[in-house]
Amino acid sequence: MTIQRTAVIGSGLMGAGIAEVLAKSGLDVIVREINDEASAAGRARIEKSLGRAVEKGKLDADARDTALSNLRFSTDIADLADRQLVIEAASENEDIKKSIFSELDGVVTDPEAILASNTSSMPIIRFAQSTSRPERVLGIHFFNPAPVQPLVEIVSSVLTAEEVRSTVTDFVSDVLGKKPVQAEDRPGFIVNALLIPYLCSAIRMLESGFATKEDIDTGMVNGCAHPMGPIKLADLVGLDTCLFAAQSMYEETGDLATKPPVLLSRMVDAGLLGVKSGRGFYEY
C-alpha cells in the first residue's frame, strides 16, 4: 500500500503540525475542522510555521508554496471518503475521539484505509472498537512541535494487523523522514510512561515549596544534562496536555506517581496552559 491521500482531524497545535509534516512530504492533505473559523485559524498556524522555516533557511519559498498547495481544509467529514490514512488529532477527550472514529468508519470507503490517533496516552483499543475495522486502527503519536521533533510512537493495539503496523512504520520513516519506535497499547506508551511521573514529581516539588521553579529546572539541566528543566518542559508540552495524560494514566493504573498535582489542575482551570497560552509556570 502506497499512502498518498491523507487527512488530519483537527488543526490545533498538534493537528496543524502533523498536517504541515504531511504536506511538506508531498502528500495530498485534507484538514477537517468543525467550522470555517477554526479552519482559518489552522491554516494561519501552518502558514506561520512554514514562514518561520523559510526565515531560518530550513525551507525555501518554492517548497513552502508547494506544501501549502498540498493542503485543503474542510468542515465536512464526508470529504474524507477517499483517504488512505486519517490521523485524528482532536482534543484529549475519549468520548470525542470515539465519536470521530465511529464517523470515520462510516465515511472512509477504502477497506485498506488506516485510521490513526495522535493521542498521547489514551488506549488505542477503545477507539478501534468504535469501528468495524479494529485491525486497521493504531496510534501514530507525534511530539510537539511535530515539524521539528523527529520521534513518532507507533502504537499497536491487541487487534492491530501486523501489515498495518509495518506499513505505517515504513511510511513514517521513509516518507515523513521521522524516527519511529514501536510501543504497546499501554498507559503512556513509551515516552509519557516515563515523562509524566517525572513532570508530576517536579510540579509537586514546586507546590510543596521544596524549591523554586528556577532551581528545579537549573538542577536538572546542569545536574543531569537535560536540555530543558521539567517545569519549562511542562509549559512547552502544554499544562492541559500534561493534566489529561496524567489523569488518563492514573485512572487506568492507580499509580500515585501519575496522580495529577493539585497545582497542575489549578493552573489549567485558570487557563494558564504554558507556551501556547503565553503563560504557564513561566511567562512567554
**Could you tell me the pTM of the whole model?**
0.91
Spatial separation of the C-alpha atoms in residues 195 and 30, rounded to whole Å: 32
pLDDT score recorded for residue 202: 98
What CATH fold (topology level) applies to the domain 192-276? N-(1-d-carboxylethyl)-l-norvaline Dehydrogenase; domain 2 (1.10.1040)
Q: Which residues pair with 88 in a beta bridge?
A: 9, 117
At CA 150, angle to CA 144 and CA 154, rounded to 5?
85
Active-site residue, from 121, 141, 156, 248 = 141
Torsion region of 225: left, alpha or beta (phi above 0 gives left; psi -120 to 50 gives alpha): left
Q: What is the pLDDT of residues 32-90, one digit of tens each?
A: 999 999 999 999 999 999 999 999 999 999 999 999 999 999 999 999 999 999 999 99
pLDDT score recorded for residue 92: 85
Active site annotation includes 277 = no
Active site annotation includes 192 = yes
How many CB atoms lie under 10 A from the CB of residue 21?
26
Rounded percentage of the chain residues whose pLDDT exceeds 70: 100
Active-site residue, from 25, 39, 49, 120 = 120
Active-site residue, from 25, 117, 130, 192 = 192
Q: Which three cell numbers stand for residue 204?
A: 509537586
In the chain, domain spans: 5-184, 192-276
Spatial separation of the C-alpha atoms in residues 62 and 66, rounded to whole Å: 6
Active-site residue, from 153, 156, 157, 248 = 153
Q: What is the pLDDT of residues 178-203, one digit of tens each?
A: 999 999 999 999 999 999 999 999 99
Rounded percentage of the chain residues whose pLDDT exceeds 90: 95
Superfamily of domain 5-184: NAD(P)-binding Rossmann-like Domain (3.40.50.720)
Q: What is the pLDDT of residues 16-39, one digit of tens each?
A: 999 999 999 999 999 999 999 999
Q: Predicted confidence band at 10 (pLDDT cuts at 50, 70, 90)?
A: very high
pLDDT score recorded for residue 1: 79
Active site annotation includes 153 = yes
pLDDT score recorded for residue 261: 98
At CA 88, angle to CA 24 and CA 175, rounded to 5?
30
Q: Is the pLDDT of residue 91 over 90?
A: no
